[in-house]
Amino acid sequence: MARKTAVIQAIEGRDNGKLFTITEMPASQAEKWAFRAISALAKAGVNVPDHVSRMGLPGLTALGVSAICALPFSEAEPLMDEMFACIRIQPDADHPEMTRPLIESDIEEVATRVKLRKDWLTLHTGFSFPADSSN
């Protein structure tokens, strides 16, 4: 069975209309990613209940994306980079089979990066995030 994928269309400012493809990590990589994230959160003093740590990525989602902000940047950066390694851009909407790895100029809005991270978590956990009512 193939890994799950999701095609995400950006809707913010300069990125409006750009298409991105997120591909699910292999299970072993996702498990290690979640363990590193939960371990880093616990080390940073975030209360991580036992039942949450046992859940892996879904447990991390239960803590909320904002919990990652409690991490020192040196701990968060490799986790953030690994998330974006699963994301590719689709430069031509007429050719969805053609994607390429992201380069720095592909994403011009911070809001797009945040949305892609939420969509990455949704793809990996099956949990979606409520819409931001401040938009």
Give residue 135's pLDDT band: very low, low, confident or very high (50, 70, 90): very low
Q: Is the pTM of this model over 0.75?
A: yes
Q: Comparing 33-37, 56-60, 105-109, 117-121, which segment has the lowest mean pLDDT?
A: 56-60
Rounded Cα distance between 29 and 103, Å, is 23
pLDDT of residue 131: 53
How does pLDDT run across 41-99, given as a tens digit for each residue?
888 887 777 777 677 777 676 666 667 777 888 988 999 999 999 999 999 989 988 99
pLDDT of residue 134: 43
Classify burial at 14, counting beta carbons within 10 Å of its beta carbon; exposed 0-12, middle 13-18, buried 19 or more. Answer: exposed
Q: Is pLDDT at 101 greater than 90 in this prediction?
A: yes
pLDDT of residue 61: 67
Task: Tell me if 110 sits within 8 A of 14, measured CB to CB.
Answer: no
